Structure 1
């Protein structure tokens, strides 16, 4: 099958949607399918052979974060050329409701179109206001996928229609096989009064909740003096440490951006992974990665996180934004080796439903359904003649 995938966000800035698309494309190529990904990218960005650049992206505030998107006349022309050259059996557009390549592709294409909705934002006035503009494009979609029940709910409430829920995928064995790094692991002589906590995310993006974890750290260290925190992600480390008493700041180590291999090794090394996010999450891929690596998980009780963790069966939850509850739960888990072992065992069984062998099979089933008996994807010349393809 010839498959075209549209990535809305800049390929050179790491993010959950980009990782999802990258891993899906790689898995499909491994199965023998021909895959091309259209994505924004800076000119100097090295790209895999299956990625086609749609040009440089610009930062746009979106869903409580800053997304790097690509939109405009030049981008529209590149979309049409990619569609013309690709002769795809199906195209898979991610985030078609955002002002991005996804929306341009909906406007420009005709034929079998699958769309995945990642965003969970139940009070989006902008999405409601934009519905009259989005409706003609969204009506061309043959099948809709939502990565979680909460992303599906956002779609239903704001744009109408419905979607099948297929979660984000993870290469479970990749994380399970990773080797811990000794410098990131708790030494045997420190296990009795400490432990290593892990956090991954953009340091200066408040919704990722690092400030909640930093606020909880003095209480955790008071109860378990050997505790330390490893933080992976981009952002201003000094600013993140300001709320922490100066004598405790050496308990936090900032690793910066890490490779996929080091991400897996970090998650294999820690005694507890904490996800203190405050909102705006539709899934929680890092929770799946942590469970795959065998890290006990403690997460804020966002609806999406609770769903990923089986409502607390595969990881523990604490009230969103409550640093005292976070500290109490972390102290209890770090001090109870049997509880950590139980969480690992539960997570190992639970996480298999998110492996690419399951997720990609479900997505391929959607592709085959919409492509069966229909013409291949092509540029929609009718739209171009009728509207002059104005943006």
Structure 2
């Protein structure tokens, strides 16, 4: 099958949607399908001497040009929109001649919407956003409606993303969660320097909704009860600002790792005694929770609806009241002092996470592709039969 996938966010700036699309594309390619991903990306030529310029893109990714930062869903997304982008979308569609187009976030002001306007044939759309009070989406509906009506099948990554779609844009969607290569995380080798009384956090440091400030407020109490504890923070952002409100002795127990590779992320999750996800909102799924469970890390997360769903309502990981630093601290202290409970969470998480493996998720997405392509083929056959009958033509 020839599959075209549209990524709305910049390929140069890692994020959950980009990772999902990357892993989906590579899963489909391993199965023998022909896949092309259209994404915003810096395609500037290298400078003299080979310095600078665009990073090397995977062979299956086609650049639609550089993205610009736009406030979106409580964050800053790097999107791509305009006449040049529209021209690149049309060229990619014409040259690809895809059996199915899979557009992610078709309602965002980026390549997804442009592709929805331009594409012909079977279109599958995945909705990632969970935002129950989006006035912008409601206001934009009359503009979006003609494009969205072309979609053959809709996927939502969680029940909360599905609810946002239903309430703001109408229609419905099948829920298929984000996928993870469970074995990649499960077989990672722990690092000794990251072991021994460690709490892990992975996320953008300077994005408040990722919740690092909540964890920082909880840290003094955690250290008061468990002074040997260290906090390992992986992600980009201003590290000095992140710890500026902490006493010097507490700051010494925080280690910033910067951006880490996929391999090091897996090693980090395999190494920590506890992974904490203190996110405060705007989450439709929680891929980092799935990755942590895949690596065998006991998980403590804020009780966002999406997180509760991923953690099986608290059976596969513990939950604390969103933005309550005192409750976070109490739960962390209790878990760090209870190896048996952490072992129980590891076992439950490792069993629960299998439903998110690409072997399951990829099969569900392929089933949607096959349904819409079979439907399109049936419609085309019916139309040819009608034309033959109308004009008295013989069958092929």
Calculate the TM-score normalised by the size of structure 1.
0.93
C-alpha displacement of 1:243: 1.5
Checking the alignment, whether the CA contact within 8 Å between 1:42 and 1:57 is kept in structure 2 is yes
- Deviations 1:204-248, CA, capped at 9 Å, x for gaps: 000000000000000000001100100000000000001211221
Q: Which residue of 247, 250, 253 corresponds with 2:249?
A: 247
Q: Quick one: which of 218, 221, 226 aligns to 1:219?
A: 221
Match of 1:388 in 2: none
Residue 63 (structure 1) shift:
0.3
Structure 1 counterpart of 2:390: none
1:45 Cα deviation after fit: 2.3
Q: Deviations over 1:256-298 (max 9, x none)?
A: 0000000000000000000000000000000000000000000
Cα distance in 2 for residues equivalent to 1:284 and 1:145: 16
CA RMSD of aligned residues (A): 0.8
What SS does structure 1 have at the residue aligned with 2:136?
Answer: helix
Query: What is residue 63 of structure 1 aligned with on the other side?
Result: 73
Partner of 1:312: 314
User: Is 1:291 aligned to 2:301, yes or no?
Assistant: no
- Residue 12 of structure 1: SS of its match in structure 2? coil
Shift of 1:373: 4.9
4+ aligned runs moved over 2 Å, structure 1: 373-376
Alpha-carbon distance in structure 2 between the residues aligned to 1:373 and 1:8: 26
1:205, 1:225 → 2: CA distance? 28
Which of 1 and 2 has higher RCO (CA within 8 Å, sep 6+)? 1
Bigger shift: 243-252 or 27-36?
A: 243-252
Match for residue 135 of structure 1 among 119, 142, 145: 145
Q: Distance in 2 between matches of 1:369 and 1:141?
A: 13
Which residue in 1 is equivalent to 2:85? 75
Q: Which runs of 5+ in 1 are unaligned?
A: 187-194, 377-391
Question: How does 1:173-192 map onto structure 2 within 5 Å?
Answer: 173-186=183-196
State the TM-score, normalized to the length of structure 2: 0.92
Is 1:282 aligned with 2:278? no
Q: Which runs of 5+ in 2 are unaligned?
A: 44-53, 379-396
Whether the aligned pair in 2 keeps the contact of 1:111 and 1:375 (CA below 8 Å) is no
Q: In the alignment, what sits opposite 1:126?
A: 136
1:67-107: per-residue Cα shift (whole Å, max 9, x none)?
00000000000000000000100000000000000000000
2:264 paired with 1:262: yes
Residues 1:151 and 2:161 aligned together: yes
CA drift at 1:375: 5.7
Counterpart Cα distance in 2 of 1:155 and 1:113? 17
Q: Residues of 1 paired with 2:31 and 2:328: CA distance?
A: 43
In our comparison, the structure showing a higher alpha carbon Rg is 2
Aligned residues: 368
